[in-house]
Amino acid sequence: MALCLGAPDHGYYMSRDPFGAEGDFITAPEVSQVFGELIGVWCAGAWAAMGQPAAFNLVELGPGRGTLMADMLRTLARAAPAMRAAAAVHLVDMSPVLRSLQARTLGQAGATWHESLDSLPDGPTILVANEFFDAIPIRQFERRDGRWHERVIGLREDKLVLGLAMADLGGQGSDGDVIEFAPARSDIARAIGSRLRQHPGAALIIDYGHAQTAPGDTLQAMRQHRQVSILETPGATDLTSHVDFEALAKALAAEGAAVYPLLSQRAFLLAMGIEQRFAMLSARADATTKAVLARQMTRLAAADQMGNLFKILAATSAGLATPYPFGRQ
Residue 96 has pLDDT above 60, yes or no: yes
Residue 145 has pLDDT above 90, yes or no: no
Task: Report how far residue 22's alpha carbon sits from residue 304's, in angstroms, rounded to the nearest whole number.
Answer: 24
Task: Report how far residue 257's alpha carbon sits from residue 307's, in angstroms, rounded to the nearest whole number.
Answer: 26
Mean pLDDT of 169-195: 91
pLDDT tens per residue across span 251-266: 999 999 999 999 999 9
Q: What's phi and psi for 299, nearest 5 deg?
A: -60, -40
pLDDT score for 148: 87
Percent of the chain with pLDDT over 90: 70
Residue 249 has pLDDT above 70, yes or no: yes
Q: What is the pTM of this model?
A: 0.92
pLDDT score for 329: 43
Residue 235 has pLDDT above 70, yes or no: no
Mean pLDDT of 302-325: 97
Residue 158 has pLDDT above 50, yes or no: yes
Task: Report how far residue 226's alpha carbon sits from residue 75's, in angstroms, rounded to the nearest whole number.
Answer: 33
Task: Output DSSP code: residue 122.
Answer: S
Residue 147 has pLDDT above 50, yes or no: yes
Q: Are 71 and 139 in contact (CB under 8 A)?
A: no
Residue 23 has pLDDT above 70, yes or no: no
Domain covering 2-136+183-225+234-316 in this structure, CATH number: 3.40.50.150
Q: Across the chain, what does the average pLDDT equal? A: 91
Residue 74 has pLDDT above 80, yes or no: yes
Reported for 278-286, long-range contacts at CB under 8 A and 24+ positions apart, including other chains, are: 278/34, 281/34
Q: Of 295 and 146, which is predicted with more confidence? A: 295
* Positions of E strands within the chain: 56-61, 87-92, 112-114, 125-130, 139-144, 147-156, 159-166, 178-181, 201-210, 220-223, 226-228, 238-240, 243-244, 258-259, 263-264, 310-316
Cα 291 to chain center, whole Å?
A: 28
Task: Report how far residue 290's alpha carbon sits from residue 276's, in angstroms, rounded to the nearest whole number.
Answer: 14
CA distances from 3 to 13, 113, 224, 300, 317 (A): 10, 22, 20, 31, 34
pLDDT score for 223: 79
Least confident of 14-28, 38-52, 188-202, 294-308: 14-28
Tell me the pLDDT band of 165, cut-offs 50, 70 and 90. Answer: confident
Mean pLDDT of 21-41: 87
Mean pLDDT of 190-200: 98
Reported for 97-100, long-range contacts at CB under 8 A and 24+ positions apart, including other chains, are: 97/13, 97/14, 97/15, 97/16, 97/17, 98/13, 98/17, 98/63, 98/64, 98/65
In the chain, domain spans: 2-136+183-225+234-316, 139-181
Report the side by side order of strands in the sheet with 178-181: 159-166, 147-156, 139-144, 178-181
pLDDT score for 28: 94
CA distances from 329 to 55, 117, 189, 265, 267 (A): 32, 32, 24, 15, 11
Q: Of 225 and 142, which is predicted with more confidence? A: 142
Residue 16 has pLDDT above 60, yes or no: no
